[in-house]
Structure formats: structure tokens, C-alpha cells
Amino acid sequence: MRLLLIFVVGLIMPAAVVASSGAVIDAPSGDSCSITGTGTNYTAVINIPANGIEQGGFAFGAPVTTVSTVGASGTVSRTSLPANTNVAVMMPAAAVPGASVTLSLTTSGPIPGAFTIVPANIDGTTWFEPVICQHPVGSPTPSNNFTAQKTATYDNKTGVWHEVVTVPGPGKLVYAHRTLATTGTPRPLVWAGKASASKAGQVTLTLKPTPAGRAALKASGRIKLSLNIQFSPTNSKPANQLVPLTLKK
């Protein structure tokens, strides 16, 4: 069962924390809590376990100093609160075991890291141990760092070279001979291509000579080029490397 109680709470973040006194801290409630939001708007979802007990309110931990309700039922309390809290919202109807309580918070500034909420029993006379609402930590950006071998291996059966690239995770690779021409059309010595990686590890790029590349190989026994490789990790920015290669049979 999901109990949706929306409270708009105004928070001011002071340099020092004002602790309250006079309340009793009891056993753990078993609640779990998550908090989302940025800037001055946050949502806390408190899940009461199915084998838990009814709860009548929640106190807000440091660094909260002021609270007000706007357009919602609920009673603001500032007395008989647990240590390190100084304001609480008492609900008009108790939250029963298995319920989820949603609190909508409006603050005067960002809340870094975690946020503490202390549940109360049904009549608000006893408080349970504090529950930490962890402020979400963004997923790390996938790395786009990759390495490419400086020497490609020739495959005599197929007449192509294999260039091995090591990537940090899933993504796509595209590659092409970087050519410069003062006049006319650039003549790449190997065909452009692409490959994909489903996980971190080695990926093999196939370098097949173009007609211009075969002519260069016949004339000098080698193909010298700069291979432009781009790796685009899944959900991250692409990275490029220019790899000088000399292709020999």
C-alpha cells in the first residue's frame, strides 16, 4: 500500500545546528528512505516494512531550522523532538506497515549528501532511530580512454591487416585513413570501417587496402598511413586517436 502525503517544507541551512531535547529515542523502525531532487526541491520516499509498526510523523534532522506547511494538512511541531532535530511534521492519519510516505520538501538551498529523518510512533510520543535518506549520487560517466596497438598484423589468407584496440567498456568504433591532399581528392590507402564492443576488452579492426593502397604496397612493399580511430562509449562522449601505422606483409 502506498500512502502519499505531500508536505511542502521550507528549510534554512544555518552555520550551526540547533539540537532539540526532551524526546525518547527508541528501537530501529526498520524504515528505508530515498531522496531525490536538486536545488531547492526534493522528494523523500519513506518505506515502512510490512512487519513494522504504525507511525504518526517524522522529524527533520540537521541542518533544518525552520519548517512550514503550505496547502497541505499536517501539524508542525517544535517541542519534545529527538536530538539533532528541531522541527517535525505530524500526519493526520498514521502510516501503517507496508505503506510508503512521500514528503515533498522545498528548501532555501541545496542539500548535499544524505538527509536525516526520524520516525515517530502513532501518537508522536516516542521516536525511533534516525533513518538516512541518501541523496542520489549520479552514475559515473563511462570512460572513453582506449589504447591502440602501434603495429598491425597481416593476415596472409585474406590480404588484410588487423589492428587491435583495447576499450574500457561497451561502445562503437569507427576508423579511417586520415589523408591530406593539396590538390584534387584525397586518396585513402585503406578502407574506412566500424566495429562495436559489448564489454571491456580487445576489439579487432580490419584494415583492407584500397586500390591506391595496393599500388603503394606494390611500389614500396609497405603502406604508411595515419589511422584516425574514434571510440564512442555507451552514454558518454567520443574520443579520438591518430595512430601512425606502417603496413607490411
Q: What was the pLDDT predicted at 66? A: 52
Q: Where are the beta strands (DSSP E) in the chain?
A: 9-11, 32-38, 41-47, 55-61, 75-77, 85-95, 100-107, 114-120, 131-134, 147-148, 153-155, 160-167, 171-177, 193-197, 201-207, 223-233, 239-247
Q: What was the pLDDT predicted at 126? A: 85
How many Å apart are CA 191 and CA 245, to the nearest integer? 14
Q: What was the pLDDT predicted at 58? A: 87
Q: What was the pLDDT predicted at 173? A: 96
How many Å apart are CA 232 and CA 132, to the nearest integer? 37
Q: What was the pLDDT predicted at 226? A: 94
For the chain, the domains span 9-134, 147-247
Question: Architecture of domain 9-134 in CATH?
Answer: Sandwich (2.60)
Q: What was the pLDDT predicted at 103? A: 77
Same-fold call for 9-134 versus 147-247: yes
Q: Which CATH class is domain 147-247?
A: mainly beta
Q: Residue 63, preceding bond cis, omega within 30 degrees?
A: yes
Full pLDDT tens readout for the chain, 249 residues: 444 444 444 443 333 333 344 456 668 888 988 877 776 677 778 899 988 888 888 888 755 545 444 334 678 788 878 888 877 888 888 888 988 888 777 666 666 667 788 998 888 788 888 888 776 555 567 899 999 999 999 999 999 999 999 999 999 999 999 887 666 677 899 999 999 999 999 999 999 999 999 999 999 999 999 999 999 998 788 999 999 999 998
C-alpha cell of residue 135 = 541523496
Q: What was the pLDDT predicted at 108? A: 64
Q: Taking Cα atoms as reference points, which of 5, 4, 3, 6 lies closest to residue 106?
A: 6
